Structure formats: structure tokens, C-alpha cells
Structure 1
Amino acid sequence: MSGPIKDFAALKSLRAEIKAKEEARKAAEEERLRREKESRRDAELFRSAIGEVAPLRSAPKVQPVTPRPAPIARQHLADEQAALQESLSDEFNVDTLLDTDEALSYARANIGPDTLRKLRRGHWVIQAQLDLHGLRREEAREALAEFLRNAVKRGIRCVRIIHGKGLGSVNKEPVLKSKVRSWLVQKEEVIAFCQARAADGGAGALVVLLKA
């Protein structure tokens, strides 16, 4: 029983870390707003104290034209914050959460066994896929997080993740196979996944079901 407890404790610690970062960001934003409010108040007090003033007359001056800095898109900032909250850990041990069948299927606790059966049989049409061939671990992790985030935005339910069979790697071992499963379990939008059918990639791919 020590294995699952350790895994859930690690997941809980990860969520606590993300929550702490979010709280720190909110605190920094509140402090910035407070300082801006104080600055506006001081400026109003200064203007009230000196009263109306007239500018001194001076000869016209040529003002150099300087380009204004490009505004930072709000959506870009939102995407960066989402990426921070969706950071994935390589230390998360998923083995104890997977079914003991040969396909190492997974479904969240509130998902009935019928969902996995339908997923294995191809009940849901694969609407998008991500091929991780040739990517390093860090690159694959970032690509997977971005792919799932975009899939949820587009309302996609079923996707295929191609991690490969490891035929071209050292010792012919599928390096990304276990990592991809571990990363998927940590994503809240993922409710189930299983090994793809032979026609869809077999042992070299996973079919993933996302939240509606």
C-alpha cells in the first residue's frame, strides 16, 4: 500500500506547489495595484496643493519620433500562466494507477469500466493526433502539454499520441512510452487512455479520451 500513497502524496505536493505560485502571483498583483493607487492619490494631492499652473513659453522643439513598444497580448500572458499550471513532473510514478492488462489502460476513479471498453473498441473517432517521434524528453513533454491544451480549446474529445515503439532508440527500448503515460495521468482534462488498436499504431501509440 506504500506505493499508491507515495504517488498521491507526490501529486498532492505538485498541486500545492502550483497553488502556492498562483497565490504569490495574486499577492504581487495586489501589491502593484496598491502602489498604483497610492501614486495616483499622491499626484492628486500635489495638484490640489499647487493649484492651476500655466506652462512657460518656449521655442518649438522638434520631438524625435520613437517607436512605441508593442503591447503584450493578454491571451499570450494567459497561455503562459496556463502552461505554468499545467507543468508535468517526470518523477510521478504512474505504474500503480494503470490497469494490469497488457495495454496498461487508465481511467479516472469516477469513470466506469464501460468507458474503457468503448475506448479500446474505437467507439470515439480520433479527431487529432500528436507524433512525438524524434523529440527529446523535454521537447515531448512541452509538445504534449500544448497539444492537449489546444485540443480542449477546440472541443476535441478523442486524440492519438504516437510515442513510438523504441526501434530506433538505444537498446531498442521505448523511452517515451512510460513518460507519456505518466504525463497523461497528471493532466486533469484526460479521463482515460489505452493502447491503440493495431490499425491505429498498436504498441507505439495511445488513444486518449478528454473531458467533454
Structure 2
Amino acid sequence: MTRRKLHPEEEELWRRVASKTERLHPQPKFDPEDFVTQTPAPGPRPKPTFDAVRTLTPSMPSRPTTSVSLTPSITDQVRAQPIQMDRKAFDQLKRGKLRPEGKLDLHGMTLDRAHPALTRFVLGAQSQGKRLVLVVTGKGKNRDDGGPIPVRHGVLRHQVPQWLSMQPLASAVLQVTPAHLRHGGGGAYYVYLRRNR
């Protein structure tokens, strides 16, 4: 878009308006003497210390600390385990096509109650000849109050795969994988059991 030239009467009107206005935020007058600096003699510079850096930036707002975990999430760790069972059955399992023959819900349990319940359930299911069971842990609540010791989000969700990989359950469990969304998603695990001999 091109600008048109103002007519002489418009220019006169603009000059009158501009002469009667005041700046909202007046700027100080520029004085070049204020910006003349003395150059220091060349020499070694002192290295700033932590205290010097802190005193140079006192007005910086403190940011809330965020925890960064370099370890993969428990779901990624479980998924990364090698496949021990039949590949075709594993693919059906991941797609939620296999139906669990038993279910254990650990919601609301403490670690002291959940571990024996898990052990009884898995060993009992294997003795009954079941091959696929579902263990529901829940996704967990965020209870970290920002204290000096971090609190893990979803304690049971992190602990159950470890319990399943230790004896006496390790000899009964063939494969552990996160459940499909229709069976609980990230808050549940499929536990594929070995045949009872």
C-alpha cells in the first residue's frame, strides 16, 4: 500500500496538533559526555567467583527446580526387555487381543501388603494352569512435596516389575509388558506365566 501525500491544509492541521502534544514517557536528553568511558590498562583479569556472580545478579528471580531423570521410565524399561514368549502371541498381547485369565488390583495397597498379595496371586495362577494374568497397579499420585528426598511417582507401578523379576516369582513369570489401553494402559501390566510342570 502506498501512502498518499498530505494536502497543505492537512499538513497545517498536523503541525498544530503536534505542537500541543506532550510525550507520555519523556526521555532524558542525550549527553555524549555521559557515555565516555575510560579504557582500563591491559592486564590479567581476575576470575569471577561464585559469590561475585551471585552479587552481580541479585535481581534474578529464583526458578523452581525441576527434576531431570536420565534413566528411562519404568514403562520403557519393561518394553525394552527381550521377548521370551512366542512372537505371534506377544504381538496379539500388545494389541490387547488376548484376554487375561485373572486380575489382581493393587490400588490403595501399601508395599507391605502388595508384595505378598502379588506373590500369592502369581503363584496361585500358575498352579491353576493360567497363562496370562493382569496386575493393576494404578498410575500413582504425585506426592512429592519438594523436600530434599525425592518421592517416586507411582511406587507400585515401579516396584511390581522388580518383584516379578526376583525369586520366587521369576521362575513363574515368562514375560512382563505394559497393558493395552483397554486393560489399564500404563497403570497395569500383563504377566505371561510359564507352563506349570
Relative to the length of structure 1, the TM-score reads: 0.47
Name 2:45's counterpart in structure 1: none
Name 2:156's counterpart in structure 1: 176
On the 8 A contact 2:107/2:138 being kept in 1, the answer is: yes
Aligned mates of 1:107, 1:176 — CA distance in 2: 19
Work out whether 1:127 is the aligned partner of 2:101. Answer: yes
On the 8 A contact 1:119/1:193 being kept in 2, the answer is: no
Pick closer, same or farther for the CA change 1:109–1:158 going to 2, 3 Å. Answer: closer
- SS of 1:170's equivalent? coil
Identity, % of aligned pairs?
A: 28
Q: CA deviation at 1:118?
A: 2.9
Work out whether 1:208 is the aligned partner of 2:191. Answer: yes
Relative to the length of structure 2, the TM-score reads: 0.50
Pick closer, same or farther for the CA change 1:198–1:103 going to 2, 3 Å. Answer: farther
Aligned length: 115
On the 8 A contact 1:119/1:209 being kept in 2, the answer is: no
Aligned mates of 1:109, 1:163 — CA distance in 2: 22
On the 8 A contact 1:190/1:210 being kept in 2, the answer is: yes
Aligned mates of 1:153, 1:147 — CA distance in 2: 10
Q: CA deviation at 1:136?
A: 0.8
Deviations 1:97-118 (A, max 9, x none): x9x9747326567545545323
Computed over aligned residues only, the root mean square deviation of the Cα atoms, in angstroms, reads 2.9
Higher-Rg member (1/2) = 2
Instruction: Return 5+ residue gaps in structure 2 as ranges.
Output: 1-70, 145-151
- SS of 2:78's equivalent? coil
Deviations 1:20-56 (A, max 9, x none): xxxxxxxxxxxxxxxxxxxxxxxxxxxxxxxxxxxxx
